[in-house]
Amino acid sequence: MKLDHIGIAVKKLEISDKLFSKLLNRVPFKTETIVSESVKTSFYHTGESKIELLEPTNEDSPIAKFLNKKGEGIHHIAFEVDDIEKEINRLEKEGFSFVGEKIRIGNNQKRIAFLHPKQSNGVLIELCEKK
């Protein structure tokens, strides 16, 4: 496993893109809307890892619920895995459970899964299978 990206929930992507472009001295290398997750995203390279900014596209989305409960900030940490099914099976044997559908499609058509944060010190962990 290696760190793939850190996801940050934001209220307005346009405002946060300006902030992170200044902070990182670069523009996002990718923006994408993921209809199934009700989110718009921007990605920034930061060495071998990335920063993902996430703006909800509707009030019922997981990101909107997160923002309403906790405000803007770190939403999840994503780790890249070679075989997501194998990793899910291993983690379930270790007693971890998952949020929502175990495997779904995320940014860049990667297969993703989320561990329940109650079992990982309150941190939402995303697994993403590299293409």
How do the domains of the chain map onto residue ranges? 2-129
| 8 touches 51 (CB < 8 A) | yes
**Whole-number pLDDT of residue 41:** 97
Asked whether the beta carbons of 116 and 88 are under 8 A apart, the reply is no
One-character DSSP codes across 7-29: EEE-S-HHHHHHHHHHHHTS--S
pLDDT at 131 over 90: no
CA 116, CA 64: separation in Å to the nearest integer? 18
Kindly report, residue by residue over 43-64, the tens digit of the pLDDT.
999 999 999 999 999 999 999 9
Q: What pLDDT shows up at residue 15?
A: 97
Q: What is the pTM of this model?
A: 0.91
* pLDDT at 87 exceeding the cut of 90: yes
For 61: left if phi > 0, alpha if psi spans -120 to 50, otherwise beta; the answer is beta
Residue with the larger pLDDT of the pair 100 and 131: 100
Mean pLDDT of 22-31: 96
Answer whether CATH 3.40.50.1370 is correct for domain 2-129: no
Confidence check: pLDDT of 26 > 80:
yes
Is the predicted pLDDT of residue 109 greater than 90, yes or no? no
Query: pLDDT-derived band of residue 100, with 50, 70 and 90 as boundaries?
Result: confident
The encoded tokens of residue 8 equal 């940050």
Banded pLDDT at 108 (limits 50, 70, 90): confident
